[in-house]
Amino acid sequence: MKHKFYIVTHVETYERSEEIDFKLWNCLGIWGVKGRSEADRENKLWAKVEEYFGTKLKSLEFENNKPHALTAFM
């Protein structure tokens, strides 16, 4: 199994509450998952974020981990 990191950039849920709004801001950033294939890792990422929220997700946007623009060498 390969361990890969993704940068979660946007999340939407079907439900709204103060707790979910708080978690929306805190979940943005780097998440790591293990899986046999890219599709397997993406499915596990979706499940991991749903578990964090405790509710079903409406959408999840992410990108591959990359060097930070301000700290990466040119």
Alpha helices in 1-74 (DSSP H): 18-26, 38-53
Task: Give the closest residue to 9 by CA, choosing from 52, 62, 68, 45.
Answer: 62
pTM of the model: 0.85
Domain layout of the chain by residue ranges: 2-64
Q: Name the pLDDT band for 4 (thresholds 50, 70, 90).
A: very high
CA 16 to chain CA centroid, nearest Å: 18
| pLDDT, tens only, 12-64 | 999 999 999 999 999 999 999 999 999 999 999 999 999 999 999 999 999 98
